[in-house]
Structure 1
């Protein structure tokens, strides 16, 4: 039992209370990454941070509660939160940065009685969620509450409108009459799900993507009522843009989606055929609007997707607060995305300024090094 929370975490657990060694000319950070096994971005970026002299602790969703545990201590006006992971133990007072990269809802162990599993899962999830406030002094990318808010697509669209960004004419509904009326009023319409989903049948994996939809494509009314969806006017486009924001820094590529199979509605269907993209300067007015959007959603980082029309209008599609971003550098080597992310973590500030040149390892070296270290499966 902890009797004196004024003691450091290391003393409480019988460890060395001396300060951690810091790299020459650089402040060492302790970075906590919420992630899952074989998460490419967490593995590569975390390993790159370790190579820069930082300590990285990974909270793997699959490990909790089997080999990972959490404790919250309260006593005499003080409190201490502790996580025990396969990579070591950390306390709330030690952590400098939390990267809320990937999350997995805790599952009750299968050795419990079936009648008790629901109760156990509720308890596990409640305890884990409490750490969002416990690590309040850390710099979060992004905070749990902000991530949850921004994952709801209608919230994004409201905030985008309020921030001065153009969005497509949109209907979000499960009302069959309104859906049919909306599609009938537009020459071309697309459908998006409110949330992503993956089906696994007979060894085949199916995912949700954006799709063109006509009145003839619609199912019976009862199915429309059962599954609300996002319906939007299909916008004319010259090309698309993915803009990655790390605080004030914006790195963007131009995606020639019209040349891709299925790219007229969703370039992700044929993204494996993309080998090269040109960098693009996002207009300052659009950058400012994106930062305003992120501020409204409480985000410090996110990937923003745009359609750019033949007459040069930028139309907002969505922001992904925990989306992939290293592919930008793999398609456009001029954009040092990994370096920008590492500097963002090291600064612990939204106003990062310009990305500085560096002698640290690049993306390809970081990938290979992560594989050698066993963080990624060898290909």
Structure 2
């Protein structure tokens, strides 16, 4: 039996899981959509057949699928109209795979796409009982002004989805980090809001932050002491890992159960949840990433996240 990883060749997290699976005696196959359709064949009649080079995998050989960060199909045609057409047809075909490869997926691509929507995340989290910051989404200056005028304190301005911008292939992507703003600072920027939707939230004071990684029914929690470093106080993704203490943290059972319930409610088998612990000891949900990273957490804390994902792919009961 074979576990398929659908992701790009540079996804170190998937590569680590595949290495762990092979160490456990399980065959693996990296399904990189950027090779489709030129260097990768996928056929379906009564079952899926995948061919890449000298490797052929039939549907009966597939035990489970790790779905993380798939590449887009790449087409060689120089004609932009043909290239666009073939790429769209290819993507439409690939999108059908979860509905015809009927094995456990970690996680189901349709569930991943829906869970990526931050407004929906917050609605589900609030319904389950998480405390979340008061929030407004959108590009309406008037609505944002009403929001900030009705509240005291500071505000967090965040990207709706992507936290980087590709402006230069040589220099790599630029990070788009959360900004901590006063009411006056938001008001001075209101005219810019109409050009791109944003998230504005009441700024939550932090004692420290949590990265909660849920794998099936297992919960791995790391405390990130972001407030001990000026660079990471507002957004720990402004990485300074050597100077930002990380440690294993024991969540209260109630919060741990909420994290599992959120992942299950979203139809996922994996989720990386970001939370804040306030100076008053309150647990505040910020967001969940259904394909989040974990290797740096594992390296710093020795939490067995990779092995647990591998075990989940072998036995989906988690």
Q: TM range, normalised to the smaller chain? A: over 0.9
Task: Indicate which of 80, 84, 91 corresponds to 1:118.
Answer: 84
Residue 323 of structure 1 pairs with residue 292 of structure 2: yes
Residue 96 of structure 1 pairs with residue 68 of structure 2: no
Residue 305 of structure 1 pairs with residue 274 of structure 2: yes
Would you say the 8 A contact 2:42–2:48 is kept in 1?
yes
TM-score, reference length from structure 1: 0.78
Counterpart in 1 of 2:308? 340
Q: Distance in 2 between matches of 1:340 and 1:60?
A: 23
Residue 211 of structure 1 pairs with residue 183 of structure 2: no
Counterpart in 2 of 1:194? 160
Would you say the 8 A contact 1:70–1:127 is kept in 2?
no
Q: What value does the CA root-mean-square deviation take over the aligned residues?
A: 1.9
Where relative contact order (Cα < 8 A, 6+ residues apart) is larger, the structure is 2
Give the superposition deviation at 1:222.
Answer: 5.5
Give the superposition deviation at 1:265.
Answer: 1.3
Q: How many residues align?
A: 314
Which segments of 5 or more consecutive residues in structure 2 lack a partner in the other structure? none
Q: Distance in 1 between matches of 2:154 and 2:234?
A: 11
Q: Distance in 2 between matches of 1:39 and 1:202?
A: 18
Q: Distance in 1 between matches of 2:313 and 2:181?
A: 42
Residue 134 of structure 1 pairs with residue 68 of structure 2: no
Which range moves more in the overlay, 281-290 or 193-202?
Answer: 193-202
TM-score, reference length from structure 2: 0.92
Counterpart in 2 of 1:76? none
Highest CA radius of gyration, 1 or 2? Answer: 1
Q: Distance in 2 between matches of 1:235 and 1:85?
A: 49
Counterpart in 2 of 1:80? 47
Would you say the 8 A contact 1:57–1:88 is kept in 2?
no
Counterpart in 2 of 1:155? 120
Which segments of 5 or more consecutive residues in structure 1 lack a partner in the other structure? 1-28, 74-78, 353-379
Matches within 5 A, 1:260-299: 260-274=229-243, 276-299=245-268
Q: Secondary structure at the match of 1:250?
A: strand
Counterpart in 1 of 2:111? 146
Write the deviation string for residues 193-227 of structure 1: whole angstroms up to 9, x where unpaired. 11113222384331222112344356765631221
